[in-house]
Amino acid sequence: MVWRCIIFCLVFYSCADTFDNSTSTDEEVSLWSVDENFIKEGAPFDLIQNPSFKNISEMKDLKDEDRLLLIKIDNEIRAYPYYYLNYSEVLNDYIGSVNYVVSYCPQTKSGICFYGGINGQQIPMIASGYLFKDNLVLSDLERQNFWSQMLITGIRGEEIYKQISKIYSFETKFETVKKYFPNAKVYHRNFSTEKSNQFKSNRKKTNWAGYLGVVVNGIKKNTYVFNHNKFTELTMYKVTDKKNTIVVVGDNNKKFFTSFYVSHEVNLKIVKDKFPVILEDDKGNEWNTFGEEVSGNGGQKLKSPIFYNADLWAWEYFFENVEESK
């Protein structure tokens, strides 16, 4: 009888142990919508709210070739240099009633702006410390919800599978902003001497990515990438899907790259020597870098697909069907 009890206890313990392990593994796997083998964890970054800005004439430590994101809301233009944004990778800002998040990942060299908030509520975001496929993962301050920057989608928490709304911005260099957008306000950080020296030595983290990508119909559909070197002057390429024509416009000399939707019936052509006016339609209406109609009836604005710059390896790592424009 004693031996039977011992055998029963051993079997029960073994089964219970096996059951507990499998349950723990299932719970752990269920936290993420993506393969955890590609997740790396680190410490969260600082929360940045109410960032400081300076006029262009006050910016002394930026170089002409420094990369930045440019955004325009309610006729106010703001520039976010990666030189400063690299410190926190994510910052929260607003213009008027519009809250938005600016993000930059130094690993993939991708800069993207999103509308801020979850379910209509403004919730500050931070760089979570996690990386997915070596790319920035954003989170709320309590790290309850997580979003992949390049996928622009929730990958953990209540927002899982939900796409963040991208806000229009384009990447360019500080020299272009100085020349063509002189009234822009420029994001600025004051660093200690130690931090300043560190960021000067790490400036290579903000080097040019080299490829503009346009995501069409999600990650399992077509993603078109364009080498910056193809844009030797202001140049336009077209990609056509069932509903729209997508135009990709860039100028590697100005380090300016963007993309818009237009209907199949509209024919656009490049406007040279009038930058920031870049496009003209058949009726003579002109459009600027922000997709705004600046002649004719005015008031119209072109919509944009999901586009941003990143290293080629990152595009190929994240998206299944990457087609490089020839």
Q: What is the pLDDT of residues 87-113, one digit of tens each?
A: 999 999 999 999 999 999 999 999 999
Residues 144 and 250: their CA atoms lie apart, in Å, by 38
Tell me 163's DSSP state. B
Residue 240's pLDDT band (cuts 50, 70, 90): confident
Q: Which tens digit of pLDDT belongs to each residue from 48-61?
A: 999 999 999 999 98
Contact 249, 258 (CB under 8 A): yes
Residues 224 and 323: their CA atoms lie apart, in Å, by 5
Scanning the chain, the segments in alpha helix (DSSP H) are: 2-30, 82-85, 174-180, 193-201, 312-318
Residues 83 and 296: their CA atoms lie apart, in Å, by 39
Of 173, 195, 201, 169, which Cα lies nearest the Cα of 307? 169
In the chain, domain spans: 38-180, 209-324
Least confident of 38-47, 49-58, 257-266: 257-266
Q: What is the pTM of this model?
A: 0.87
Residue 116's pLDDT band (cuts 50, 70, 90): confident
Q: What's the confidence (pLDDT) of residue 9?
A: 36
Q: In what order do the strands lie in the sheet with 90-95?
A: 90-95, 98-105, 110-115
CB contact set of 163 (below 8 Å; sequence gap of 6+): 152, 153, 154
Of 215, 231, 117, 106, which Cα lies nearest the Cα of 165? 117
Q: Which tens digit of pLDDT belongs to each residue from 170-189?
A: 999 999 999 999 999 999 98
Of 288, 233, 225, which Cα lies nearest the Cα of 255? 233
Q: Which tens digit of pLDDT belongs to each residue from 216-230?
A: 865 556 799 999 999
Tell me, letter by letter, the H, E, C secondary structure of 168-214.
CCEEEEHHHHHHHCCCCEEEECCCCHHHHHHHHHCHHHHCCCCEEEE
Contact 288, 181 (CB under 8 A): no
**Sign of the dihedral defined by the CA atoms of residues 304, 310, 316, 317, in that order:** negative
Of 114, 121, 122, which Cα lies nearest the Cα of 154? 114
